[in-house]
Chain A
Amino acid sequence: MGYRRGGLYSYDWLDRLFGFLDAPSAERVLVEFQRLKVGDVIPVGRGAGFPVKAIEPFRTLVLGGDTNGFQWTWQFGLYLVNGRLTRLVSRNRAHIPTTVGSTLFMCVLEPAAFVMTRKMLLGLKHRAEAAAAQNHDAAKHAA
């Protein structure tokens, strides 16, 4: 995930419009970028990137930052439902300054973030399912 990595798996035109990416997101999971650790920063084209605050492999990735009184965390969680089904959940928590400017900014940011996050989750789902199907086929051929 990130600039010059897999991308953001959202709407490519919006990622470009907001300056996050300058190329479409990867169509598949890129194995070479799957090793993150706390303290790494996922680059995005604009801004300081997404610092990794916590990680539990195959379970949780928490990104977060603290800039100008705006504290945010963004968690991706994987929850096993059964042997074939997993839930992918995105959760955001933020403390924003209680000013008119911040409130108006969030009124604009919230719906835009929803549109992009929804597409990102569906993009992750699509890529994860494709990778799982590929692994399944490879195992079948090997047997």
Chain B
Amino acid sequence: MTPNLLTPVALLGLGLMYWFPIRRWYRHWGATDTEIDQSMLGRRGYLKPNLRDHAGCHH
């Protein structure tokens, strides 16, 4: 691979790493699939969400 291609490929790889495993991990931190799928009170009148994130811990 030529040096000219190395930089964009590395950036693309880093971008994909961030967007899929890393972003997915922090948007679901500690929360179960059931908790993620639950409906939420207080959203009456709001548009369908296009962004969701969750986090959970025990105490």
Contact = CB atoms under 8 A, between A and B. Distances in A.
A111 interface: yes
B58 A85 contact: yes
Contacts of A66: 46
Contacts of A124: 59
A124 B50 CA distance: 28
Q: How large is the interface on B (under 10, 10 to 19, 20 to 34, 35 or more residues)?
A: 20 to 34
B59 A95 contact: no
A87 interface: yes
Given A110-B23, A114-B27, A96 B58 contact: no
A113 B43 contact: no
A114 B46 CA distance: 23
Given A66-B46, A91-B31, A110-B23, A118 B41 contact: no
Nearest to A97: B50
B40 interface: yes
B41 A75 contact: yes
A110 B53 contact: yes
Interface string B33-59: 001101011110011111111111111
Q: DSSP majority for the A interface?
A: strand
Given A56-B41, A95-B51, A121-B57, 16 more contacts: A54-B42, A62-B42, A64-B43, A64-B46, A75-B40, A88-B58, A88-B59, A89-B31, A89-B54, A94-B49, A98-B50, A111-B26, A114-B29, A114-B55, A122-B57, A124-B59
Interface of A: 53-54, 56, 60, 62, 64, 66, 71, 73, 75, 77, 79, 81, 85-96, 98, 106, 110-111, 113-114, 117-118, 121-122, 124-125, 128-129
17 contacts: A53-B41, A54-B42, A73-B42, A85-B59, A87-B35, A89-B31, A91-B38, A91-B40, A92-B52, A94-B51, A95-B46, A106-B51, A114-B53, A117-B55, A121-B56, A122-B57, A125-B57
